[in-house]
Chains A and B, each alone.
Chain A
Amino acid sequence: MVDQSQVEKVGIPTVTASSDQFVGLARSTVKSLGLPDMAFVEVEHPLGMIPLDEIRAKADMAFPKIVQMATQWKPNLTAIQKITPAYPAERIRFKGTYDALNKMFYDKGLSIGLPVIPPTPEKVADMLKGTTRKPGEIVWAVPPRMGQLTVELVAAYGVMAGCKPEHMPLLLAVVKALSHPDYDWRGSTSTTAPTNPVIIINGPILDELGIGYSTGALGGEMPVNIAVGYFINLVGDIIGGSVPPVNDKSTLGSRADLVAIVIGENEKANPWKQSYAVEQGFKPTDNVVTAYSSYMGSNNIDHSSVKSTHLLNTIAAGIAGAGSGITSCLTRMDKGYASTNKVKFVFVFFGPEHADTVYRDFKTKKETSEYLVKKTALPFWMYAPDICIPPKEFGPYDENTLIPRFTAAEQVRIIVTGGPGKQSQIWPTFTTVARPVSVLVEK
Chain B
Amino acid sequence: MRRTFITCLVFALSIGAALMLPSISVAKDLGQEWEVINPAGVIQIKQEQLAPRLTTLEGKTIVLRWNGKHNGDNFLNRIAELLKERIPSAKVIKLYEVDKSTIRQSGSVDVAAQIAQVIKGLKADIVIAAQTD
Contact = CB atoms under 8 A, between A and B. Distances in A.
Contacts of A26: 131
Given A6-B112, A58-B75, A156 B132 contact: no
Contacts of A147: 40-43
Given A7-B116, A47-B72, 18 more contacts: A4-B127, A5-B112, A7-B115, A7-B127, A9-B51, A12-B119, A18-B130, A37-B50, A49-B70, A60-B82, A67-B86, A71-B54, A92-B37, A110-B38, A148-B42, A153-B37, A156-B39, A238-B39
Interface in B98-133: 103-113, 115-117, 119-120, 124-133
Interface residues of B, number: 70
Contact of A14 (B31, B48, B51): B51
B14 to A, nearest CB: 32
Contact of A337 (B29, B104, B117): B104
A37 B78 CA distance: 26
A217 interface: no
B117 to A, nearest CB: 7
B107 A2 contact: yes
B29 to A, nearest CB: 5
A97 B29 contact: yes
A47 B41 CA distance: 36
Contact of B37 (A17, A49, A63, A120): A120
A83 interface: yes
A249 B69 CA distance: 15
Given A81-B43, A153-B39, A6 B115 contact: yes
A49 B71 contact: yes
A11 interface: yes
Given A9-B116, A109-B40, A48 B133 contact: yes
A73 interface: yes
A4 B38 CA distance: 34
Interface in A321-337: 336-337
Given A10-B120, A338-B103, A50 B71 contact: yes
